Amino acid sequence: MTHILSNTSAALPGDGPRRGPGPIAALDPRVRILSAVAYGVFVVALDSLIALSAALALSLTLLALSRLPPGKTLKRVAMVDGFILFMLALLPFTVPGDPIFTLWGYPASWQGLARAIQIGLTANAVVLALITLVGTMEPVTLGHALYRLKAPETLVHLLMFTIRYVEVLRQEYLRLRAAMKVRGFRPGTNWHSYRSFGYLVGMMMVRAIERSERLLGAMKCRGFSGRIVLLQEFRCTRADALFALVLAGALALLLTLELTLR
Amino acid sequence: MHIVDGALSNPVVIGGAVAAAGGIALGLRALPLDRIPAAGVLSASFFVTSLIHVPVGPSSVHLILNGLAGLILGWAAFPALFVGLLLQAVFFGFGGLTVLGVNTVNIALAAVIVGLLFRPLILRGGPVGAAIWGGIGGACATALTTLFVALSLMFSGDEFLAVAHLVFVAHLPIMVIEGLLTGFAVLLARKVKPDLFLSMKDVQA
């Protein structure tokens, strides 16, 4: 996860160079959010390995359409898989069924292996679709789209402030870390390191609250009355309808696979 | 700590989503309009600090700091941590989509419980006493989150029992580190800016 806090890349997309317009970037953000949610709920409900493999193929197609860098995106998804690998590796030993082999006296079952593959396929298919459909948006657009989808206004404001300040605070964090490094701080497993990290976190919070006080003062000075007007409007076009139709067709196909090839 | 899509049973996923919606609604109600900037900036700082890697022996862990979030934000920690999880899922692919509710409850409910229990103790007495209570609170928040994760796995099926045990044991050292860091963070904040723990309550000019 360190790459997010590296000096080179931004914490959230949107500050870097803009991506080229792909077919997915041209769609209405609201349609993209709703599609991702519908797709996620649908794929989680699938059980058959063939249908889930088809879902993963569909997600990969979306990735190809989204113009995200495929290598980098897949590497990121694979990194997340690393976290769940140990959980999946245990499943063959904990699900009872027909044994494949025995490891230190514990039998591994086919059923357990199937369950592990099932979870792995589902997780990857949904996350890939989410990253390609919603993750390719500007973070601010995500906020506006959620607002147009009737998300609570306060929550959207909270989201917008968070998006705005993640990068600012990341820079502050990197400055503080640089200051620690200049003074010879090398993190290790010792009391001094943990105390320094604790003070670093505390300082981040203190600076955050003081920043927010200045921010509120500046907003009040400009007549802030507790409401931020979100002006961005979206329009559903024929392309959106087409995309929704194709996606619905693909989901129907997945359902057919699920029901016929068990 | 993130649970992925496809692992949990439907009742757990739906229950988690409903509970998360309720918690977010309560949190938003506890958030007056002119505290939104403070909550947003703090939410962003929790997002950034949760990506810090702290060395533990040959390996390293990343922080959750939901205990500190609960101590500072109270009920507002619920929507604030939800926003962080939403951004992590959408832009980095950590966690998942349908499990967003469960993940939010696991992390934010622990934060709110710790905030309600320990915030009064942190505001009382000197900075050192506050730091000790803060440290205990930080460790408790991680313990509760791990417990909730284990419970969500166990309610989803017996096959996850071993995993749930393993998750809990694997997080014991993380509890200690979370406790230490939260304690020191509280110590510094109590010395430098004691108002931090009141930031969601009183309205400053």
Question: pTM value?
Answer: 0.90
Residues 83-142 of B with CB under 8 A from A: 83-84, 86-87, 89-94, 96-98
Rg of chain B in Å (alpha carbons): 16
What is the model's pLDDT at position A1? 38
> Which of A89-98, A174-183, B45-54 shows the lowest per-residue confidence on average (mean pLDDT)?
A89-98
| Strands A106-109 and B53-56, bridge-based pairing | unpaired
Interface contact A118, partner B, CB < 8 A? yes
pLDDT, averaged across chain A: 84
pLDDT tens readout for residues A197-214: 999 999 999 999 999 999
Name the most confidently modeled range: A66-80, A216-230, B99-113.
Answer: B99-113
pLDDT at position A108 over 80: no
Q: Which of A40, A122, A206 sits opposite B193 (nearest CB)?
A: A206
| Tokens read off for A128 | 């890939």
pLDDT tens readout for residues B134-177: 999 999 999 999 999 989 988 888 778 888 888 888 888 889 99
Interface contact B24, partner A, CB < 8 A? yes
pLDDT at position B192 over 60: yes
Comparing CA positions, the residue from A214, A160, A172, A197 lying closest to residue B68 is A197
Burial label, B101 (beta-carbon count in 10 A; 0-12, 13-18, 19+): buried
Q: Does A2 contact B65 at a Cβ distance shorter than 8 Å?
A: no
Tell me which chain B residue has its CA closest to the CA of residue A36. Answer: B97
pLDDT tens readout for residues B77-118: 999 999 999 998 898 888 889 999 999 999 999 999 999 999
pLDDT at position B204 over 60: no
pLDDT tens readout for residues A1-48: 334 444 445 566 654 444 556 778 888 889 999 999 999 999 998 888
Q: What average pLDDT score do residues B11-37 get?
A: 91
Interface contact B63, partner A, CB < 8 A? yes
Q: How far is CA A223 from CA A217, A231, B187, B196, in A?
A: 10, 17, 37, 25
pLDDT, averaged across chain B: 88
Is residue B94 within 8 Å of B50, Cβ to Cβ?
no
Q: Which residue has the higher pLDDT, A17 or B133?
A: B133
Paired with A102 in beta bridges are: A107
